[in-house]
Amino acid sequence: MFSKDRWKEIIEVLSTNWFRTLLTAFGVFWGILILIILLAAGKGLENGIKADFGDIATNTMFVWTRSTTKAYVGLPIGRRFSYTTEDVAAIWAEVPNLRFVSPRNQIGNSEPNVVRGVNKGTYNIYGDYPEIIKQDPLSITSGRFINQLDISESRKIAVIGQGVVEDLYKKESQIIGSFITV
């Protein structure tokens, strides 16, 4: 209920100590501003992480090798090793309750590594098995993804991304069935 006397008293108290009133108002403003900034930063971080991991399946684990940092039984520091397809079979045998194991080879992008005619480009190149699409879904706009028959028959198949299409092909070019050098 509106009371003229209460509002008069409030204004009188606020105007009596105007410096304290301004400091209090600034403190409340500052606190709300910091809260908004922190909430926005947290939401931005959450959105960034979701965008980075996008469609990757939950309960997914990635394992890769690096150079060693310690000597071992006479072997030097900095030696490299790689997993093999036999390691994939061992993982299947030794780790229970796995749904997919998707080995991947990767070639970096330090110099032009994809060529089509006179056009060249530098791209990340992955050697994947068909199961990867169940863990990290891709948007296939035309054609198909690789399958086990492609691997067992050593077919020369490439799934190319939109960047390769835009950089190396003309708009009217036929993409499916064309040749590129990787």
Instruction: Give me the residues paired with residue 128 across strands.
Output: 104
Q: Is 75 helix (H, G, I), strand (E, B) or coil?
A: strand
> What does the pLDDT look like over 105-137, one tens digit per residue?
887 777 888 889 888 888 888 888 888 888 877
**pLDDT surpassing 80 at residue 74:** yes
Residue listed under structure tokens 């796995």: 98
pLDDT at res. 33: 97
Residue listed under structure tokens 């994947």: 128
Query: Domain ranges in the chain?
Result: 4-53
Q: Which tokens hold the place of 59? A: 């309960």
Is there a contact between 182 and 114 (Cβ–Cβ < 8 Å)?
A: yes
Residue listed under structure tokens 């068909």: 130
Rounded to the nearest 5°, which phi and psi values hold at 41?
Answer: -65, -40
**pLDDT surpassing 90 at residue 39:** yes
> What does the pLDDT look like over 43-64, one tens digit per residue?
999 998 888 776 676 667 777 7
Q: How far apart are CA 125 and CA 74, in angstroms?
A: 35
Is there a contact between 88 and 101 (Cβ–Cβ < 8 Å)?
A: yes
Over residues 63-77, the mean pLDDT reads 87
DSSP codes joined into one string, 78-135: T------HHHHHHHHHHSTT-S----EEEE--SS--EEETTEEE---EEEE-TTHHHH
Q: Which residue has the higher pLDDT, 81 or 70?
A: 70
DSSP state of 181: B
Is there a contact between 135 and 100 (Cβ–Cβ < 8 Å)?
A: yes
Residue listed under structure tokens 């922190």: 38
pLDDT at res. 57: 66
pLDDT at res. 1: 63
Is there a contact between 90 and 102 (Cβ–Cβ < 8 Å)?
A: no
**pLDDT surpassing 70 at residue 14:** yes
